[in-house]
Chains A and B, each alone.
Chain A
Amino acid sequence: MTTTTLAVLVPLLPFLGAVAGLLLGRTAPGFVRPLAVLPTLTSLVLATLVAVRQGGDAAVNAATELTPTGSVPIELALHIDGFAALVAVLVGLVASCVQIYSTGYLRDDPRYPSYAALVSLFTSAMLLVVYSGDLIVLLVGWEVMGICSYFLVGHYWETPEARAASLKAFLVTKLGDVPFLIGLFALATDAGSFRITRVLGAVASGSLDHPTLIALLLLAGVAGKSAQFPLHTWLPDAMAGPTPVSALIHAATMVAAGVYFIARLLPLFEASQAAMVVLAVMAAVTMACSALAALAQDDIKRVLAYSTIGQLGYMSGALAVGDRGAAVFHLLSHGAFKALLFLAAGVIIHAAGTNSLAAMSRMRNLRDRVPDAYWTMTVALLALAAIPPFSGFFSKEAVLGVAEHVVTGHTDRAPAAAGWIVLVAGLLTAVLTAAYAMRLWLLAFRGRGTEAPDHGRQPLTMTVVLWVLAAPSLALGGFAFRLLPDWFDGRDLSPTLTTSVLGTGVALVGGIVTYGAWRHTTALTARVPLGAVAAHPEGDAAQVEAEAIATHKPAYGDIAYAPDPADPGRLLLSPLHRHAAAGFHMDAVYRALFVRPVQAGASLVRFLDREVVETYVRGAGALPRWLGAAVRRAQTGNVQTYVSALLAGTVVLAVAVVLVATGA
């Protein structure tokens, strides 16, 4: 088979699996699990084959035009370069892991067939986005991902949090998608084609009329999809979905689609200095604020969600300084270790019966209950904190190194201001990242208090996957930074001395300070009892998680916050803690900026409709109604009355006729 055929099969197989899963879900439940896992695994194998054949050489391009579509043609096009090939492998890997993990995690869930089909559909859409060489085809995958995300976040639709979160995720991403769509059209109008290769050719020849406008419009969509400031608020709430969904969609793949999109069209963004600075500022604000917020969260998954936002900020920062190699490198390593973190968190939530770090910190020996999760999560947290030699170190150093290059003037691909912004924010975030990684690890695994409940071994499908993902988290960076430049733009990704020392140093500082704070506050855990655990610990992991999410607000008063004085984050952030826990009140800002005006407008419209328009209608109806009432009163049912009226009329008519006839 040619590479093109293989590449077409990669997104097609999960799609067929999704269709078959939806059709057979009720009638043949025995086929649901194979139909969920096998197409995704095959896709992973095929994507690997495609990557091996492509090998970082010249991009594979193939296109077919199904039908003429007017002035700007839309083609089913493939464009597989090194980025696409490797990102597809990552998507296939994470999706396969998640599908296998889900068979254990949602073991007893009655809605598993539709869940698995939606995950397959999502995988297919993501692979379509990755391989697509045409912007409209890419948009199709982009939107299919959005709707899958909506359904999967709302998987536990019995809980109000999940319902609200799915709606919020959908609306906020749509808020970005509308300018994104306009930007795509503007881009196609300027470039005369939706094909990425032609668009890039037009950019290279400088024939774009409004690069800044287009870039900013596209940035809005990217911010929505990749959860960048100010459209990031949906991602922490989206943690109300099942953990595997969070791992696949809201950590490793879909949120990375925005970054990947910019990476594909980076020359377009580079054509506009303003867009690059905006991107840098966006990345910096996202990084710093999300790291602060992550330090204050109580829900273990929300910590990871804010962490995801921050790491996506790193990728955006790398793009803002004009190096997509570093961005995609970080995308790959982050996809691996963040998926691992989420899947391990799912295991922990199942074992502990709660998603609250405050409650976990009051459990002794939780790590002994879940040794696999303990070890793999330790690896992943080290990778997240960018401690060498874990993979996160190399990719993050690549980002910081590029920023440093820009600052020191080694390259003119991006404005120096962007470089400074990214570098400073990146270092600050490195401290905070190490701090919240340390806090998470300490609170989850170093708790003291009552013995953690023992629910037996976790399912094998859930633990094996953790070790599969631990391998790239541990070793990907170290091996890849030498190989990847061949696949990418050819620029060096090896860590530089300055940023390595700086980055590792600040990460260590963050970790040590957090440890000190924890030592200082941990004595309080025994004094302040806190915590609630799931009512059905013997249920499958999905049920435990759903209950944990549903009970967090009643138990602690807030979905993101627990009044725990033993939290080291509280000591570190002391005045900021309250604001950070609430995500710096972005929701309140949105409420004031959008929700309130919309509600006020709605009530105004309702007032106008009820009181003004209805009055006119009622007034217009009053006269006929009165007439009708008057006429109705004549309908007495008495025949004699009718005949009287008839004869009276006859007499009048007769007299009139006589008068007219006689000429009177």
Chain B
Amino acid sequence: MHLAYPAVLSALLFCTGLYGVLARRNAILVLMSVELMLNAVNLNLVAFDVWLSKTAEETLHSGQALTLFTIAIAAAEIGIGLAIVLAVHRNRGTADIDKLRDTAERHDPDGTDHDALTAEQSGEAQKAEATA
């Protein structure tokens, strides 16, 4: 089998995940897209490991080992990530990423409602800190 097939598929899946990370509004959908990207990498690792294990004399099967590690870490990541998303959702009442703009430049000259929104959010953040 040509190595190009899994490599290209991996690249396409990666970029699909990339698009999802950049374009999705819901944080859980973003996490799904992250999983897509991780899987693309896994596919790459497996494909190259298979290729190398057949061409080289000695091999450590590093690709497959790393794939397993990645899967394990991804599982941990999705757990922690979901916990964070749920905590944010509990405190802010939303899991929409583009509403979490606490780092925005505050004195925006052309968006008063935007300002009010961030003020409200920061108020909520302070409330969350106070209760925590």
Residues of A participating in the B interface, judged by any CB pair closer than 8 Å: 629, 632-633, 635-640, 643-644, 647
In the complex, 7 of the A-B residue pairs with CB atoms within 8 angstroms, ordered by the A residue number, are A632-B108, A635-B103, A637-B105, A638-B104, A639-B97, A640-B23, A647-B18
* Docked-complex contact A638 and B22, CB < 8 angstroms: no
| Proximity string of chain B (78-111) to chain A, C-beta cutoff 8 Å, 1 when within and 0 when not | 0000000000000000000110111111001100
CB of A457 to closest CB in B, whole Å: 74
Specify which chain B residues have a CB less than 8 angstroms from the CB of A638 in the assembled complex: 97-98, 101, 104
B42 at interface by CB-CB < 8 Å = no
CB of A637 to closest CB in B, whole Å: 3
Evaluate whether A640 and B105 lie within 8 angstroms (CB atoms) in the complex, with A647-B18, A647-B22 already known: no
CA distance A636 to B101 in the complex (A): 7
Q: Which residue in chain B gives the minimum CB-CB distance to A647?
A: B18
Name the residue in B21, B104, B105, B108 with the highest tally of chain A Cβ atoms < 10 Å from its Cβ: B105
* Docked-complex contact B105 and A643, CB < 8 angstroms: no
Specify which chain A residues have a CB less than 8 angstroms from the CB of B104 in the assembled complex: 635-638
CA distance A639 to B108 in the complex (A): 17
* Docked-complex contact B23 and A639, CB < 8 angstroms: no
Q: Which residue in chain B gives the minimum CB-CB distance to A642?
A: B103
Specify which chain A residues have a CB less than 8 angstroms from the CB of B108 in the assembled complex: 632
Known interface pairs A636-B104, A636-B105, A637-B104; 17 further A-B residue pairs with C-beta atoms within 8 A, sorted by A's residue number: A632-B108, A633-B105, A635-B104, A635-B105, A636-B101, A637-B102, A637-B105, A637-B118, A638-B97, A638-B101, A639-B97, A640-B21, A640-B22, A640-B97, A643-B21, A644-B22, A647-B18
Specify which chain B residues have a CB less than 8 angstroms from the CB of A643 in the assembled complex: 21-22
CA distance A638 to B30 in the complex (A): 14
Specify which chain A residues have a CB less than 8 angstroms from the CB of B97 in the assembled complex: 638-640
By the criterion of a CB under 8 Å from any partner CB, how many residues of chain B are at the interface? 15
Name the residue in A637, A639, A647 with the highest tally of chain B Cβ atoms < 10 Å from its Cβ: A637
Specify which chain B residues have a CB less than 8 angstroms from the CB of A632 in the assembled complex: 105, 108
CA distance A640 to B104 in the complex (A): 13
CB of A335 to closest CB in B, whole Å: 71
CA distance A637 to B109 in the complex (A): 15
Q: Which residue in chain A gives the minimum CB-CB distance to B25?
A: A640
Specify which chain B residues have a CB less than 8 angstroms from the CB of A635 in the assembled complex: 103-105
List the 8 closest pairs (A to B, CB-CB), nearest first: A637-B104, A637-B101, A635-B105, A632-B105, A638-B98, A637-B103, A644-B22, A640-B22
Specify which chain A residues have a CB less than 8 angstroms from the CB of B109 in the assembled complex: 629
CA distance A557 to B101 in the complex (A): 69
Q: Which residue in chain A gives the minimum CB-CB distance to B110?
A: A633
Specify which chain A residues have a CB less than 8 angstroms from the CB of B102 in the assembled complex: 637
CA distance A632 to B22 in the complex (A): 21
Specify which chain A residues have a CB less than 8 angstroms from the CB of B100 in the assembled complex: 637, 639
CA distance A92 to B11 in the complex (A): 107
Q: Which residue in chain B gives the minimum CB-CB distance to A632?
A: B105
CA distance A639 to B99 in the complex (A): 10
CB of B19 to closest CB in A, whole Å: 10
CA distance A647 to B18 in the complex (A): 9
Specify which chain A residues have a CB less than 8 angstroms from the CB of B18 in the assembled complex: 647
Q: Which residue in chain A gives the minimum CB-CB distance to B98?
A: A638
Specify which chain A residues have a CB less than 8 angstroms from the CB of B21 in the assembled complex: 640, 643
CB of B7 to closest CB in A, whole Å: 15
CA distance A633 to B111 in the complex (A): 11
